[in-house]
Structure formats: C-alpha cells, structure tokens
Chains A and B, each alone.
Chain A
Amino acid sequence: MRPALFAAAVALPLLAAAPARAADPVTVTIVAKRFEFTPKEVRLKAGQPVRIVLRSEDVTHGFFQRELGIDAEATKETPAEITLTPAKPGRYVTICDHFCGSGHGNMKMTFVVE
C-alpha cells in the first residue's frame, strides 16, 4: 500500500466517528404488537443520532421507512436495533411491512424530526 492511500484509510474512520462523539445517541424503544406500535409518535432532532430498539410482543413484525433508511424486522425472541441520524425535519410514517394478520395494513407509527 502506498503511503498516501494508507493515510486516507486510517483517517476516514476517525472522521466518520467524530460526529458520534459530539452528540451521543439517544435510545428509543418501540414495542410492536398486533396491530400497533407503542409509542405511536416519537420526536427526534435533526442531526441527533438515535438508537432505535424494536421489540415484538407476539409475532414477527417489520419496520420500514424508506427516507430514513429504516428496514428492520423483530421477532418475539430477537429485537431489532437501528442506529441513524435523521438529517431533514419532517414527519416520517413508519410501517410494519411484514404481513402479520388482519389489521396489519394500519400498523404504523410516526417519527417527527424537528
């Protein structure tokens, strides 16, 4: 490896880690249960890292929000964990996208990014 490339390889992870130290992630726990998420609304701050823990109390549930890059699935045995930093204010409706029975079609919650 040439020296210049080696320096870049070392520096990039440090740069990437810098914002995380400036603002520690907040943790939000969301509980999925046929056919709702609790809480139904979570407020986040743009630029603030967040760690989302999704727990299921019954069957497998999906958790999907394309703009925020959320694409997870939780079973009763295995929670899902998502880390993200919302960039843009707005309301982001997040749905269960793993069919879990009648009522599944309205299983959703909202992240409000301020």
Chain B
Amino acid sequence: MRDRIDRRTFLRIAGLSLGAGALYRVGAFAGAEGQDAARALGRATGEAPAPFTFVQLSDPHVGFSGPPNPTGTQAFERAVAEINALPQRPDLVLFTGDLSHESEKPGEHAARMARFREIAGRLRVPAMHAVPGEHDAGLDGGALFRSFFGETSYSFDHKGVHFVALDNVSRAKPEVGPERRDWLRRDLARFPRTAPIVVFTHRPLFDLRPDWEWFTRDGDQVMALLEPFENVTVLYGHIHREDVHRAGHATHYAARSLIFAFPDPATTPEKKPIPFDPARPFRNLGLRRLDARREGGGGLAIAPTEVELTLRKLSGTEGFAQLLRPSSL
C-alpha cells in the first residue's frame, strides 16, 4: 500500500502492527480540517508533513535468564533481522523500555546494556530512540541509561509528527514527576492542537491494572497536558502483551515483549509469565498487524487486518516457532 499525500492533507497514524515489534504507518487524510492542520503544523515544525513508517520494539530484557524464556536474546535478534528485511525501510525504531535486565553484580548491568546496544546496532535504520524501563533505570535513577543513550526524556519532530520520549521509571516512585511534566508543558506549547503527537514511554499512562503495577502514578496529569491535542498516540511496553485503550483524543497501544509474555489480567488472578513451551518457543512474541481506519467523527477505528506479505510468516504465535531450530534451544 502506498500513501498519497500533498501539502493540503493532514497526517494521521494510519496503520500499525503490534507484536515483538510494531510497525506503524503514518498516512494522510485530506479534508478542510487537514488543510488547516497541515498549514499550522508546517509553521510549527518547519517540516513538510510526509508519510513514513516506524517501528516500536519493547522489553527485550537483555541479560534475563529464566524459565519463561531460556532462549535469551533470540526473539530480539530475530526481530532485528525481520525489520532489516522489510521492503520499506522504517525511518525510526523506538524502544519502549526494559532494554536490559538489571544486575547488582559489579559491571554486569553495564555489560548487558552494551549487549543491547550491540544487537540494536544491527538495525539498518536511519534513527533509533529509546526510553528506559525500571529494569534499566530503577536501581540507579537512570545513571547507566544516560551514560549509554543520553537524556531519558526528550522530543523531536519527524516529517510533521512530534515525538516525545517520556521517562516514567527513573524516579523513586513510578511517575513522570513535576519537573518532567513542566518540561512537557513547555515542549508542547509551540504546537497547534491539531498536531499529531506520538508519546513513547515504558509504563502505561493510565490505570490499566495498578495491583499488577500497570500504571503511572501521575499518568492522569500527563494526559491532562495532552488532552487539548486532537491526535495523540501513546506507545508503551511494560505489560508484555498487546493492549489498546482509547480515552479522549488519545489512543494507547502496548507492544508485546521480546522475552516473555504476561497473561490477560481479566482472566488470570496472578501476574505470572506465560510458561515456556519448547514446541512454540516464541509464543505470543510474534508479529501481527492491526490497521487503523478513520471513523466518521474523525477518530480512528482499530481492527485486525491482513498481515503484510513480508510479515505474514511471523503472524500470530506460529511464526517465530518456524524460525527457531530445536537444536538452538
């Protein structure tokens, strides 16, 4: 599928896939609203809106070892290889936290972070961006993460979309905190309300399941800052499973993990990883695609749709199993 766009159209996050990674397509919708928005956005960013794709990867937990996944970094490495094989090279790869699994053995956590950087470095994409998860930054306030990747909260513009990396893990409690909220308020101030905004963070910015730690203490205050904007997408990890949540103008998408999956909290009392199955070693870590379609009211309707040919072999739970030779376990 190719997206057509001209200067009178308005960007929308028009397609996405969720899985071990998530491939997003930013497309265009025309209309009077789009014309106004495109003009305003062009003034705000100095960059003409244009379609592009980007990928979200989450929770590889490099260094983790345990029964839920004895295969270590294999899912991560395979996801990198698949992204490199995409027919259309994504402009960006966003990592939504828990890049590494912490260790208190001297030097070990740094070694794991370096290993993450080495695998991620194989990605043949123009740019990568990351936010930390608590396993990266919870014990040292983000010092190690910053030594590798720089600031934990930042923003940038890309082809008419404003991206915000928001750290909600490196304070003592799981929150963004007043300083970063002030920064976010100032960061957003230059944009028109129609600007497409993508926030990527580790923990959900809403109360998904607080007793499983699936929340951010001041998530409601963060979302209040984003509430005036008409086109907000929040990408997060942490929960190791897919989830779509819509509230106001914002849609929140969780990506699967690259190490093990958590069950559906609606059907399971305890937060225990889904057990490893040697016959299907990458169960629930596979790629699949969802499409977002515009609704009558201007919002987006998310529905499963056909997987792109290049991703079909990785769809559902069977795809990765086909790629893993039993002898490599």
Residues of A within 8 A of B139 (CB): 99, 101
Compute how far the CA of A17 lies from the CA of B213 in the bound complex, rounded to whole angstroms: 35
Determine if A102 and B210 form an interchain contact, defined as CB atoms under 8 angstroms apart.
no
Complex A-B: 6 CB contacts under 8 Å: A60-B172, A62-B172, A73-B172, A73-B173, A101-B102, A108-B211
Least Cβ distance of B100 to chain A in Å?
Answer: 12
Per-position binary interface string of chain A over residues 66-91, scored 1 when its CB falls under 8 Å from any chain B CB and 0 otherwise = 10000001000000000000000000
Query: Closest CB of chain B to A57's CB: distance in Å?
Result: 17
11 further A-B pairs in the complex, CB-CB below 8 A; given A95-B211, A105-B271: A62-B172, A64-B173, A93-B211, A97-B173, A99-B138, A99-B174, A101-B139, A102-B135, A104-B138, A105-B212, A106-B272
A97-B213 contact in complex given A73-B172, A106-B271, C-beta closer than 8 Å: yes
Question: Could you mark each residue 119-140 of chain B with 1 if its beta carbon is under 8 Å from any beta carbon of chain A, else 0?
Answer: 0000000000000001100110
Instruction: Report the minimal beta-carbon distance from A40 to chain B, rounded to whole angstroms.
Output: 13
Question: Complex Cα distance A10/B101, Å?
Answer: 56
Is A98's beta carbon under 8 Å from chain B?
yes
Q: In the bound complex, what is the Cα–Cα distance between A102 and B66 (angstroms)?
A: 11
Q: How far is the CA of A5 from the CA of B135 in the complex (A)?
A: 54
What bracket does the count of chain B residues touching chain A fall in?
10 to 19
Tell me if B's interface is mostly helix, strand, loop or mixed.
loop
The answer to whether the Cβ of B179 comes within 8 Å of any Cβ in the partner chain is no
Asked if A99 and B271 make an inter-chain contact with CB atoms under 8 angstroms apart, the answer reads: no
Near A by CB (< 8 A), chain B positions 167-191 give: 169, 172-174
Per the bound structure, the CA–CA distance linking A86 and B102 in Å amounts to: 37
Q: List residues of chain A with CB within 8 A of the CB of B211.
A: 93, 95, 108
The contact size tier of chain A is 10 to 19
- B210 engages A95 (CB within 8 Å): yes
Query: Quick one: closest B residue to A108, CB to CB?
Result: B211
With a CB–CB cut-off of 8 A, which chain A residues contact B174? 97, 99
CB distance from B264 to the nearest CB of A (A): 17
| Distance between Cα atoms of A106 and B211 in the complex (Å) | 9
Known contacts A105-B271, A106-B271; is A99 also within 8 Å of B169 by CB? yes
Is there an interface contact between B210 and A98, defined as CB atoms closer than 8 Å?
no
Chain B residues with Cβ under 8 A from A98's Cβ? 172-173
Give CA–CA (A32, B101) in the complex, Å.
23
Nearest CB of chain B from residue A54's CB, rounded to whole Å? 15
Q: Flag whether B217 is at the interface (Cβ < 8 A).
A: yes
Q: Which 8 A-B pairs have the closest CB atoms?
A: A99-B138, A93-B211, A99-B134, A105-B213, A98-B172, A97-B173, A97-B174, A95-B213
How far is B255's CA from A1's CA once the two chains are assembled, in angstroms? 60
CA gap between A105 and B272 in the complex, in Å: 10
